[in-house]
Amino acid sequence: MQKCSSVDVNASCEYILVRYGEIGLKGKNRPKFEKRLVGNIRCAVGDLGRINVSKIRGRLMVKVDEVDTSEVIERLGRVFGLVSFSPVLRVDATPEAVFEASLTSMQQGMEREGYSTEESSEPVTFRVTVNRADKTFPIQSMELARQLGGHLLAGIPGLKVKLHQPDLIVSVDIREGQAFVFSQTIPGLGGLPVGVSGKAMLLLSGGIDSPVAGWMSMKRGIELEAIHFHSFPFTGEKSKEKVADLCRVLTRYGGNINLHVAHFTDIQKEIQKKCPEEFRVTIMRRFMYRMAQRLAEHTGALALITGESVGQVASQTLESMVAINEVTLMPVLRPVVGFDKYQIVKIAEQIGTYDISIQPYEDCCTLFLPKHPSTKPNLEKVHTAEESLDIEGLIEAALEKTETLSFYRNEA
């Protein structure tokens, strides 16, 4: 792949202009955001080859050298914190170079969108936008846009200017002696760069909801650590592998994830043996929270994340949440609480976890599910039921058997 320069604008594009930042991101948060975003982009694309990420006044520039730009674009689409990005032609800020680049950019746009350059009955509509941050450029914005429009009309047959909702927009951004010319703006995922908000422990089942809850948390800048409760040999290797696959998908959107596979069988058996049937689900969940909190404290995670919703299943009533939540002082984030199931499914499909989640492997909870779980567990009765259990001993023993698997971004 050739380099773009002031004369050779026909070379394949190798610069991507990145727009970022949330409205309202202020003060000290901004440099932290920028630093983390640059680091995350480097991590996301670094293994592809020679790629340089630099800051240029309120934007980032990704320079792609001898690497397939489409792969870089696909990866940037999975980095939280990006508002949008555009493959650009980078040329010297001279009228001659800008004119030439705008023609190339328009041709690239037409080719990309499948518009024909041959005479056709329907003209391709366009407009030119100019942002002249560098005031030393000799032509003012409005005048430059007008002249570029004329240049494109003269240079490419079948074009027509349309200011409102045209087929294509050719944009010129002139800053600090350089001009960036582009005809494509790809929306980013938005949100905050993973890592700026600290770390939290995701209770990751093999279901549909908890991976989505994890993804939503990452979107708010939270780095994930995950815990899965496994009831070996009642739940087999396949169900563990399924959760590992979910972690692999999640790492594509953020940093690395440590998955703690907690051995839950002995706890479940003990609960089944000693506790009244109606409180078993509640007590089991209380153990999950306790163990998740232990590991969270151990790994520097500040909160727990679950895929719980309200009213979806019997254990997800507010009364039930009160009884379960009682065992931890950590904040419990429940990012999918505001969604209907079909909305959660839609996100799961978009992010790539759905097909994994619907694989039919047993979850530890379904195995020991009582026929009539209490939907409004009484706290006192739950406390009494737990008196027969050696809570500390059970947790210690289970934690000792917990195995940790690490997943890295861009791993095969």
One-letter amino acid of 176: E
Contacts of 340 (CB under 8 A, 6+ apart): none
Asked whether position 207 contacts Mg ion by CB under 5 A, the answer is yes
- Compare residues 195 and 307 and give the one whose CB is closer to ligand ATP: 307
Asked whether position 214 contacts Mg ion by CB under 5 A, the answer is no
- Compare residues 7 and 313 and give the one whose CB is closer to ligand ATP: 313
Asked whether position 171 contacts Mg ion by CB under 5 A, the answer is no
Asked whether position 188 contacts Mg ion by CB under 5 A, the answer is no
**Contacting residue, 205, 258, 306, 315, with Mg ion by CB under 5 A:** 205
Which of Mg ion, ligand ATP, none does residue 179 bind to, with CB < 5 to 8 Å depending on kind?
A: none
- Compare residues 217 and 315 and give the one whose CB is closer to Mg ion: 315
Q: Contact region for Mg ion (CB under 5 A) — 59-67, 183-191, 205-213, 374-382? A: 205-213
Which of Mg ion, ligand ATP, none does residue 100 bind to, with CB < 5 to 8 Å depending on kind?
A: none
Q: Using CA atoms, how far apart are residues 33 and 255, in angstroms rounded to an integer?
A: 15
Tell me the Cα Rg of the chain. 27
- Reduced to 3 states (helix: H, G, I; strand: E, B; else coil), residue 216 is helix
Closest listed residue to residue 67, CA positions, set 52, 89, 86, 55: 52
Cβ of residue 276: shortest distance to ligand ATP, in angstroms? Answer: 19
Cβ of residue 194: shortest distance to Mg ion, in angstroms? Answer: 25
DSSP assignments along 292-358, one per residue: HHHHHHHHT--EEE----SSSSTT-SHHHHHHHHTT--S-EE-TTTTS-HHHHHHHHHHHT-HHHHT
- Compare residues 128 and 208 and give the one whose CB is closer to ligand ATP: 208
Asked whether position 316 contacts Mg ion by CB under 5 A, the answer is no
DSSP assignments along 104-169, one per residue: HHHHHHHHHHT--SS--SSPEEEEEEEEE--TTSSS-HHHHHHHHHHHHHHHSTTEEE-SSS-SEE
Cβ of residue 321: shortest distance to ligand ATP, in angstroms? Answer: 10
Asked whether position 293 contacts Mg ion by CB under 5 A, the answer is no
Contact 394, 266 (CB under 8 A): yes
Closest listed residue to residue 280, CA positions, set 399, 366, 402: 366
Q: Using CA atoms, how far apart are residues 328 and 305, in angstroms rounded to an integer?
A: 12
What does the binding site for ligand ATP look like in residue numbers (CB under 6 A)?
203-205, 207-210, 227-229, 288, 306-308, 312-313, 315-316, 363-365
Q: Using CA atoms, how far apart are residues 89 and 259, in angstroms rounded to an integer?
A: 42
Asked whether position 373 contacts Mg ion by CB under 5 A, the answer is no
Cβ of residue 318: shortest distance to ligand ATP, in angstroms? Answer: 14
Which of ligand ATP, Mg ion, none does residue 171 bind to, with CB < 5 to 8 Å depending on kind?
A: none
Which of ligand ATP, Mg ion, none does residue 235 bind to, with CB < 5 to 8 Å depending on kind?
A: none
Which of ligand ATP, Mg ion, none does residue 204 bind to, with CB < 5 to 8 Å depending on kind?
A: ligand ATP
* Phi/psi at 372 (5° precision): -130, 80
Q: Using CA atoms, how far apart are residues 79 and 355, in angstroms rounded to an integer?
A: 22
Cβ of residue 213: shortest distance to Mg ion, in angstroms? Answer: 11
- Closest residue to ligand ATP: CB criterion: 207
- Compare residues 57 and 342 and give the one whose CB is closer to ligand ATP: 342
- Compare residues 44 and 364 and give the one whose CB is closer to ligand ATP: 364
Cβ of residue 307: shortest distance to Mg ion, in angstroms? Answer: 7
Q: Contact region for Mg ion (CB under 5 A) — 39-47, 166-174, 197-205, 243-251? A: 197-205
Q: Looking at residue 184, what DSSP letter applies?
A: -
* Phi/psi at 89 (5° precision): -95, 125
Structure tokens, 180: 């960036």
Q: Which parts of this chain interact with Mg ion (CB under 5 A)?
A: 205, 207
